[in-house]
Amino acid sequence: MNSQKNEFIPIDKLLENLENLKNESLEPLAVLLACGSYNPIHKFHVEIFKITKTYLEKEKICKVVIGYISPSPQLYLDEKYPKEAIPLKHRIEMIKLAIKESSESSWLDYTAWESSSPKNIKAIVDYHEIIKNLSEFLNKNVKQELKGRKLEVIYLCGLDEILKTERNGLNDLEDYKIAIVERHLKDSRTTSTSMLCKTTGFIITYCKSEDNSGTKVCIRFADYSAIWKLIIVIYTSYY
């Protein structure tokens, strides 16, 4: 085993899940990554991982082997919420607890590289830098366990993330896939998404069904020309 531990990116769950895979999955292997303030983390932050994993695996697009929650640096929160910012160590502990108490704890983890690495002494770390670092680290350090395969990092976020001007939306993620999970609202801004994101990705819009027995999920796919196309509507029962 050639894997190496990293204090900012835990890989124990990933190694265990890769070992349990054996030869049961021929789909591409994927890692879900979500960044945010998590001030504090709540149920929906965990739920979007479950929604996305379920869809990607049901449609045999890929096999999700790990999901990482990445809290923002303290400098960013102190500027954004000068009176309400929760200290990083407490946010991380709440993330750990939320994962532990969820039904997805076997494949969900957190990464503190964005918030704690000495390389990131700044308020805002570029999405591209976060994803690139995670992808390179994981593919290098679990290379033997991958047995010639590659892990693809899929960035997971809400529609509000691509509207943020301080990180230039997601325009610099042209080499990565993005899963955008958005709660369905009457004034949904989903129609403008194609103007804000240039990459290949998915838009997942969901709302509770009329009989309140499930969640309606509308999936949209973006090709390289940034044209979003409705490809599937599914019903789930997460609530």
Summarize pLDDT for 75-101 with one digit per residue, the tens: 889 988 999 999 999 999 999 999 999
In a domain, 141, yes or no: yes
Q: Is the pLDDT of residue 231 over 50?
A: no
Q: Could you tell me if residue 56 is inside a domain?
A: yes
- Calculate mean pLDDT across residues 154-173: 67
- Can you give the pLDDT at residue 37? 93
Chain position carrying tokens 């670092």: 133
Domain assignment of residue 61, yes or no: yes
CATH of the domain at 78: 3.40.50.620
- Residue 195 has a pLDDT of 44
18 backbone dihedrals φ, ψ, rounded to 5°: -65, -40
Q: Is 70 exceeded by the pLDDT of residue 236?
A: no
Q: Helix (H, G, I), strand (E, B), or coil: what is residue 36?
A: strand
What confidence score (pLDDT) does residue 121 get?
64
The candidate with the shortest Cα–Cα distance to 112, out of 93, 99, 132, is: 93
Chain-centre distance for alpha carbon 105: 15
Does 170 map to a domain? Answer: yes
User: What is the reported pLDDT for 25?
Assistant: 67
Residue 122 exposed, middle or buried by CB count within 10 Å (0-12, 13-18, 19+): exposed
Per-residue confidence (pLDDT) for residue 182, from 0 to 100 = 66
Whether residue 48 is contained in a domain is answered as yes
38-47 pLDDT, tens per residue?
999 998 899 8
Per-residue pLDDT reduced to its tens digit, 165-216: 555 556 666 677 888 776 544 444 444 444 444 444 555 554 444 433 333 4
pLDDT confidence bin for 162, thresholds 50/70/90: low
CA angle 77, 80, 85 (to 5 degrees): 45
Phi, psi of 160 (to 5 degrees): -60, -30
Average pLDDT over residues 138-154: 94
Tell me how many domains the chain contains: 1
Look at residue 2 and tell me whether its pLDDT is greater than 90: no
Q: Among 5-9, 33-37, 121-125, 219-223, where is mean pLDDT lowest?
A: 219-223
Specify if 220 maps to a domain.
no
* Residue 165 lies in domain: 12-175
What per-residue confidence (pLDDT) applies to 58? Answer: 86
- The crossing angle, in degrees rounded to 10, of helices 43-58 and 88-101 is 50
Closest CA to 50 of 92, 10, 9, 102: 102
Residue 196 located in a structural domain: no
Residue 165 inside a domain? The answer is yes
Mean pLDDT of the chain: 76
